[in-house]
Amino acid sequence: MKWLVLIHVLSAVIGVGPTFFGHVLVRNNQTLEQLRHSMKLARLLDFFPKIGGSIAVISGILLITLGNYGSYTQMWILGSLILYVLIQIVVIGFVAPAQKRVAQWVFDATNLSKIELPQEQRGNLSRANTMLYAASAMGLVLFVFMIIKP
């Protein structure tokens, strides 16, 4: 059981962790060259939440099923699952599309010589940043639920 807890905690940190600093990568006050670099890093980091987050959910369900944690209807368990789903909705439904639109513009060959983002892309960048802050806040609450469980 200790190994399952270790797997769960590590996968949660690895899976949700990039969310906590993702907004640094999509901050508004970057040059286009910095933004291109940040977008490349963001692409690399996308791998971790997909794999780590999935393992965290599976291992969490196994822990509840195999361990002595009580019913699935406890507030901290339900709250954790709901928060995880909400984080996924925010990241997949709002952050990823906004980042994709910015990345498409930033990496478009016709825009490589430009020195400033157009207003539309600044709006996308700002939306992605705001949504990442929301996901980070939910991630903090998620970790609080995991730490301060009964």
3-state secondary structure 17-71: HHHHHHHHHCCCCCCHHHHHHHHHHHHHHCHHHHHHHHHHHHHHHHHHHHCCCCC
Buried b / exposed e along 107-126 (16+ C-beta atoms within 10 A): eeeeeeeeeebeeebeebbe
Return the pLDDT at 150. 66
Task: Name the token pair of 82.
Answer: 């709901």
Return the pLDDT at 40. 92
Express each pLDDT in 6-58 by its tens digit: 999 899 888 877 878 888 888 888 999 999 999 999 888 888 888 888 898 89
- pTM equals 0.84
| Tally of domains within the chain | 1
Among the ranges given (122-126, 129-133, 140-144), the one the predictor scored with the smallest mean pLDDT: 140-144
AA letter at 86 = L
Express each pLDDT in 88-109 by its tens digit: 899 889 999 999 999 999 999 9
Q: Which domain holds residue 120?
A: 2-147
CA distance 147 to 21: 21
